[in-house]
Amino acid sequence: MNQVSGENFEVIGSYRAQLGETPVWCCRSGSLLWVDILQNRLLRYWPNQAQRIEIRPMPVFTSAVLLTSTLDTFLVVSQSGISLYDYQNQQVRDFCRWPDDATGTRPNESAIAPDGSLWFSTMDPTAREAIGSWYRVSASAPTPQRLLGNLWVPNTLVWTDKNIWFADSLRHRFYRATSQEDGLCIEQEYPVDGIPDGSTLTGDGKLINACWGSSCLTRFQLNHQQMTKTGQITLPVSQPSSCTFGGPNLSDLYITSARDGLARPAALDGAVLKITTTLAGTPAREFRL
């Protein structure tokens, strides 16, 4: 995956998102979930069921729909708070409200931590002020705990060993942090070219990052305290937003994208793409209910 043109793309369906985000592969159902944040929609795709796609309405500014320890009950992160969604019965149950100290923000990045808790970020909806933060929520502690503040657009969230890696998109930086009793402590920062958005991690520590506005994915190798750029792949969309591994061997790379802000979107902008790779991801974590 050095400087390669992505010629082995498959375009998933005909839907074009205003702001496609947070792709998640469910191994138990063999399906891909992702959201369109600005259109308040959840999309779900079953490649082995005649490529069936279902679209469901979601609350305003839903930035993620994540797996839980209960099959087909998903954790929904939206501006109105965190809720549980029974997919089969289309029923929503409140889990916790939006953080009291996050007024005027919307959710952005979300991921399940190794301990089964939810971590999510907030940001200024207009991305003009650095009022974003990271929060943590668990089944045993359902009140959001603020971990770190004064962020612009918090993106990417992965764990390696005792390190937590994240990005602040408009500061053009990745950060390596450690978890402390009272929150996150930034240990080191890594300036990068372009605007880093969402990422996925391979089993051997390769971070694959969607480069917003640059029509590419960039690959970094994470080694303990180091982050080294090792290559990139060109995409036929202007604004890739995130990516995840899926498929039976977790070697299919699914990539979300966005049309928002483009004066003349191309035909594929906002599409979900799939690339068959020689890499392999790890199963998506589940929120422990």
Q: What is the mean pLDDT of residues 165-187?
A: 96
SS3 content of the chain, % helix, strand, coil (to 5): 0, 55, 40
197 is in an annotated binding site: yes
- What is the pLDDT at residue 225? 87
Q: What is the pLDDT of residues 93-115, one digit of tens each?
A: 999 999 999 999 999 999 999 99
- The C-alpha atoms of residue 42 and residue 60 are separated, in whole angstroms, by 11
Closest CA to 33 of 256, 191, 233, 260: 256
The response to whether 187 counts as a known ligand-binding position is no
Known catalytic residue at 197: yes
Asked whether the predicted pLDDT for residue 5 surpasses 80, the reply is no
Output the pLDDT for position 46: 98
The predicted model scores a pTM of 0.96
Catalytic residue among 94, 100, 161, 197: 197
Total number of residues shown for the chain: 289
Separation of alpha carbons 111 and 131, rounded Å: 20
Q: Is 21 annotated as a binding residue?
A: yes
Specify the pairing of strand 81-86 against strand 106-112: unpaired
- Give the chain's domains with CATH numbers: 4-276 (2.120.10.30)
168 is in an annotated binding site: no
The mean pLDDT of the chain is 95
Neighbours of 226 (CB within 10 A): 11
Looking at residue 269, what is its pLDDT? 98
219 is in an annotated binding site: no
Q: Is the pLDDT at 4 greater than 60, yes or no?
A: no
Cα–Cα dist 61/287, whole Å: 20
Is the pLDDT at 29 greater than 50? The verdict is: yes
Residues 230, 220, 254, 19: is their CA dihedral positive or negative? negative
| Mean pLDDT to the nearest integer, 45-67 | 97
